[in-house]
Amino acid sequence: MNQPFASHDLVHARPNLALEPLIHRYYAWLNLVSPVPAAMNFAKLHVPLLRSFLDAPALHRRSARDPKLRGGMFVDLEDDQLDRVSDLATRLADGPMPELSAAMDELTVNLEKLADGFDLTPRYGEIPPALRGYVELVYDLNDHARIRLAERMLYRSRHFDETAHSVDLSLATGDERPFAMTTPRFPGNGHVQATMPLRDPRIDLLFSTMSTARPFGELREAFDVSDADLATFSGLFSAEPGGSPDRNLDGPGLRVRYFGHACVVVQSGPVTVMTDPFLSDALGDGDRYAYADLPDVIDYVLITHGHQDHLELATLLKLRHRIGTVVVPKTAAGALQDPSLRLCLEALGFPNVVDVEPGETIELPDGQIVVCPFVGEHCDLDIAAKVTYSVRTGGKNLYFGADNRCVDPALFGHIHDMIGDVDMAFLGMECDGAPLSWMYGPLFSRRIDQKMSRSRKLNGSDAVEAMGIVRRLRARQAYVYAMGREPWLVFVMATNYTDESYQLKQMAEFFQRCADVGVPARELYGRADLA
């Protein structure tokens, strides 16, 4: 083992330095950050799952590691973690989150029973204490009562507990990790964990050293590294910077690089635009672009929606110090199932976050970003925080469709009216996704009918829908992305494709349809230079 750096040594973070942002030891995502969805996920999913693991740890491990059950509700930990799991389950069960979760369920059920279209004022006296002063009771135009949460106030309340935040640091030497949605992260060999709010600027200090060297002693002091962790912490750094020499585009022109999943970096002149950042921590063997290949400044990050493979908080936190503005879709204020992406990111320390809705534009020096509608992929729930984008720059018009669906072809006629003909269309075709209960189950206050759940899936476009988008946008080229096939996505996506997978057959059919009309089309995987 190499000797640890001396305090005065100038060091750079290694390009494969991995960060896992944790909340109560779980990998952070939108519904574990926003206070009420977080309470319901911890109380109704994670505590029962931890207790189930304690009852049958071997069964959980075996199931979690079975490729056919990938993404299932199993905890992937060894028996030497049983005491930690027991302690975590007890702390979560004894904390304030079960009270808040139960309060939301109680209020929802009472409103369904008692709200009859008449004055709701008497119902305020029946609001459970944990929610008092944080909700408004309202009707829609069909006299259906609903709860509007004061989400910003909840972020300022005891229900947003930053003492539960921490970061896990390690060197990524491969892509294998336990499934993030079910398995908590405990300290282990090769890992250094530090308790700190996820908004803490020490995270920026750490990752800024990828390009700007800092004294090792300053970093050790900032993260309060013990003697026991000193060698591991020192191994996260190098005396040499790791940035790629061509990461910045010098001079005029256009460069479009695919970094995996729905992450595309567009550089034109002085402006860099990045979509749905989700990067590999591991360096790979020429099969991927990674952090070392990113430009020093990212002017705009465009987020299409809040699912954990598009609003990927680990990647965003590592890049926070070099991002100018994060653009996110605007939520329908106060809906439990539609937490604010802006409030989430602001709570995590991002200084410049703007929320937008379809029809808005952002001007660029040589073009503009146009915000477009996004329909589907959210299990028919009333979720407004989802958009797609047209980026017109460098003489090209690029459409980033994420998991948009062409369920009503007229929509894409209207989008074409806004943005014109498209040079490159990026479309998601994960057209047989997880059921309603997989992601949103903990937010329901009633038992979900499983037939209904399976009918309402997290689906992107199939071949017919994708072709409808290409035709109506008059796309000159089409790219299928956001399929979750890259190996570094599995710990979040849990995809398990085979040659017989419906999604891949639909993608092949789409390519044939494009070929029939003379539109070049292909799947993006790993890395690609497109312009």
Instruction: Name the burial class of residue 51, with classes exposed (0-12), middle (13-18) and buried (19+) by CB atoms within 10 angstroms of its CB.
Output: middle
> What's the average model confidence in pLDDT over 233-259?
91
Percent of the chain with pLDDT over 70: 100
Q: What is the pLDDT, as a whole number, of residue 214?
A: 97
Q: What is the pLDDT, as a whole number, of residue 433?
A: 92
> What's the average model confidence in pLDDT over 132-146?
96
- In the chain, the N- to C-terminal Cα span, in Å, equals 43
Cα(280)–Cα(3) distance, rounded to whole angstroms?
Answer: 28
Q: Is the pLDDT confidence value at 133 over 80?
A: yes
Per-residue pLDDT band for 251 (boundaries 50, 70, 90) equals confident
Q: What is the pLDDT, as a whole number, of residue 386?
A: 98
Q: What is the pLDDT, as a whole number, of residue 332?
A: 84
Distance set, CA 224 to CA 161, 227, 229 (Å): 21, 10, 10
Contacts of 165 (CB under 8 A, 6+ apart): 21, 22, 23, 28, 195, 196, 197, 198
pLDDT digits (tens, 9 = 90+) for 52-88: 999 999 999 999 999 999 899 999 999 999 999 999 9
How confident is the prediction for the chain on average, in pLDDT? Answer: 96
Q: Is the pLDDT confidence value at 230 over 70?
A: yes
Per-residue pLDDT band for 1 (boundaries 50, 70, 90) equals low
Cα(127)–Cα(111) distance, rounded to whole angstroms?
Answer: 10
Q: Is the pLDDT confidence value at 286 over 80?
A: yes
pLDDT digits (tens, 9 = 90+) for 500-528: 999 999 999 999 999 999 999 999 999 99
Q: What is the pLDDT, as a whole number, of residue 61?
A: 97
Q: Is the pLDDT confidence value at 425 over 70?
A: yes
pLDDT digits (tens, 9 = 90+) for 167-210: 999 999 999 999 999 999 999 999 999 999 999 999 999 999 99
pLDDT digits (tens, 9 = 90+) for 374-396: 998 999 999 999 999 999 999 99
Cα(252)–Cα(240) distance, rounded to whole angstroms?
Answer: 30
> Which of 478, 387, 393 has its CA nearest to residue 427?
478
Q: Is the pLDDT confidence value at 10 over 90?
A: yes
pLDDT digits (tens, 9 = 90+) for 294-310: 999 999 999 999 999 99
Distance set, CA 345 to CA 28, 29, 193, 199, 501 (Å): 12, 11, 22, 9, 35
Q: Is the pLDDT confidence value at 323 over 70?
A: yes
Q: What is the pLDDT, as a whole number, of residue 249?
A: 84
Per-residue pLDDT band for 242 (boundaries 50, 70, 90) equals confident
Q: Up-side HSE of residue 18: CA atoms within 13 Å toward CB?
A: 22
pLDDT digits (tens, 9 = 90+) for 438-496: 999 999 999 999 999 999 999 999 999 999 999 999 999 999 999 999 999 999 998 88
Chain CA centroid to CA 409, Å: 28
Helical (H) or strand (E) element with 195: strand 192-195
Helical (H) or strand (E) element with 153: helix 151-155
